[in-house]
Chain A
Amino acid sequence: MRESTGGKVFSVFVHVVLIIISLTCILPFLHLVALSFSEGHAVDLGQVYFWPVGLDFTAYAYFFENTPALRAFTNSVVITLCGTALSMLTTVLTAYPLSRRYMYARKPITTAALFTMLFSGGMIPTYLVMNSLHLTNTYWSLWFVGLVSTYNMLIMKSFFENIPGEVTDSAQIDGCGEMQLLGRIILPLSLPMLATLTLFYGVGYWNMFMNVILYINRTELQNLTVIVQSMLQIQSMDNMMAMDVAQQQELISEKMKAVGVMVMVVPMLVVYPFLQKYFVKGIMLGSIKG
């Protein structure tokens, strides 16, 4: 069937719009990559666009040697790895029982969890609870405050529910306990969804900002996001008071900012392509409704 002229015009229009949008998403990165690898004076003169002028790795070396950034980087890694593991474990252990039809009180418990999506205590009461448990200025506050994302838990729950009953029934007839059923049958069947939710949690912990400035006051415990934020927003340099003026000057140069952003973004760019293909499969098999 030949397409009409109107159809062709429409198709061209759609492609042009999508490609322009894609460019707006990719060009800022190319610019930052170019800035971070270029020679300092070329950056200051504004000669760098999407390709490095000269080649200079010293900013990366400087970033990790002379600044609190290395410590912040390791902090971010610790927060992300432990946090993701704890969150995934708790989310699986919450979603699985709630997905079993023979579980007592499954409806009221699910509703109680769902209610927290609609109504919450908010920032101050949550802070006061954290404070009274003496968890502020420890990473436990960061791990506990968002331990289970109700949204992720509900996605996981309905994914588990959609696993055909014949599979689980026959295993249970063979004498499979709940723990075995979960570990040997349910989880291996849920890998795309688990990969997707691991990525969501991991990104959440890696990018964590608000909770860190709420609960962590001590500079040596802060993560990369907070350090990079104070580099980017020149007016709030209170985190960097400990450094001398020359160090501060170096850190807030355009090039160093680009390096800071790159260090934040690269680990994510490395993981993302491997997990991206699971998104649609993982999220959609368990629809939100239900």
Chain B
Amino acid sequence: MTTTPATAGTDRVLKPRQAFYHTKRFRQNIPLFLMLIPGILYYVIFRYFPMGGLVIAFKDYNFRDGILSSPWVGLKYFEILFQSKITLQVIWNTLELSVLNLIFGFPAPIIIAIALNEVRKNWLKRWIQTIIYLPHFLSWVIVAGIVLTLFSIDGGTINKLLAQWGIEAVPFLYRADSWVAIFIGSGMWKEMGFGAIIYLAALSSIDPSLYESAGLDGAGKLRQIWHITLPGLRPTIILLLILGMGRLMEVGFDQVYNLQNPTVLGQAEVISTYVYKVGLQQAQFSLTTAMGLFESFVGLILVLSANALARKFDQGLF
């Protein structure tokens, strides 16, 4: 409905340009645009101005000259970015942690949703849902606190148990491999229950008679899941995978910042925490903006190519 038929008759006598300002549609649009003012201001000032501010990645930014008058330096900071060992390590860490996060974190909610779908008792299903959604609502500060009480070397619950069995304490949080495992595991623990909601909604739209006839044909549970449930979830999976690809160059600041410790920084320093520590605290604005621009840009490329690929199979998001 792009035109309002009701106005067609009354406007016929007016010239086209006048007609535009006198249509019912125009009058309806005035309050709509008034409503939109705060939203537009927000997006322009706090979302699009910072995008313009990205030019300082190509400038030698200093407070005195500001964003506009600081001198241009071309690609100087990108050269530093891709030549310095530290920044390359930080970019590599980001990629490593987020790829692992995707590999382990992405299937988990799907498995949970399929499992929940098999629970026939409604009260039990509701209880399980209420409980496993809960960690999503906790701050990373709290989750990191729980991780510390579990895994710390002195007084951590797991090391206390090990001590009771006469096993020496393990520095879980100070060894690179176990730290990465804890990092991925805590992310899964926090988000997999809540992530299952969207799949549960998709599951509820699968026709139950498909399962019945498959059962009559002698298909077991696993075969039913493979041939009915997973195809039913496919559009949702692809949608979330496209969105996940866009986040492949970023690791949530709160998560890393609260879980990392100086001993594992070689593995645990990622773009967002590096930008905060070196950019804001040591005032290296241009270098870290170049890093942030690289992160955003690769994310954009990834999400667009994932979408283009999905569109080939008629599953594109946009």
Contact = CB atoms under 8 A, between A and B. Distances in A.
A102 B119 contact: no
A190 interface: no
Given A124-B279, A128-B53, A147-B42, A116 B47 contact: yes
A126 B54 contact: no
A279 B317 contact: no
B264 interface: no
B308 interface: no
Contacts of A100: 28, 32
Interface of B is mostly: helix
A128 B67 contact: yes
A11 interface: yes
B275 A25 contact: no
Contact of A147 (B46, B50, B299): B46
B130 A273 contact: yes
Interface stretch (A65-73, A206-214, A243-251): A206-214
Interface in A111-134: 112-114, 116-129, 132-133
A93 interface: yes
B107 interface: no
A214 B201 contact: no
A32 B142 CA distance: 11
Contacts of A279: 133, 197
Nearest to A112: B43
A129 B46 contact: yes
B4 to A, nearest CB: 6
A63 to B, nearest CB: 15
Contacts of A210: 253-254, 257, 276
Contacts of A261: 142, 145-146
Contact of A15 (B33, B119, B160): B119
Given A122-B50, A284-B201, A272 B137 contact: yes
Contacts of A90: 38-39, 42
Interface in A199-230: 203, 206-207, 209-210, 213-214, 225, 228-229
A203 B118 CA distance: 31
Given A6-B220, A129-B45, A120 B50 contact: yes
The CB with the most chain A CB atoms within 10 A, among B47, B155, B258, B303, is that of B47
B141 A209 contact: yes
Contact of B137 (A6, A203, A229, A232): A203
Contacts of B296: 119-122
Interface in A245-283: 254, 257, 260-261, 264-265, 268, 272-273, 276, 279-280, 283
B279 A123 contact: yes
Contacts of A276: 130, 133
Contact of A109 (B36, B193, B254, B297): B36
B181 interface: no
Contacts of B148: 232-233
A94 B50 contact: no
Contacts of B67: 128
Contacts of B178: none
B31 A121 contact: no
A179 interface: yes
Interface of A is mostly: helix
B276 A214 contact: yes
B101 interface: no
A17 interface: yes
Nearest to B212: A1
The CB with the most chain A CB atoms within 10 A, among B25, B131, B198, B276, is that of B131
Contacts of A257: 145, 149
A24 B47 contact: no
A61 interface: no
B269 interface: no
B317 A289 contact: yes
A186 B242 CA distance: 32
A264 B148 CA distance: 17
B280 A121 contact: no
B309 interface: no
Contacts of A241: none
Interface stretch (B10-18, B92-100, B286-294): B286-294
Which 8 pairs of residues, A with B, have the shortest CB-CB distance? A121-B50, A125-B53, A94-B39, A122-B292, A207-B139, A125-B50, A97-B32, A178-B31
18 contacts: A21-B128, A31-B149, A89-B38, A93-B35, A93-B39, A94-B35, A120-B51, A123-B280, A124-B275, A125-B54, A128-B50, A128-B285, A144-B42, A178-B31, A207-B140, A210-B257, A232-B141, A283-B197
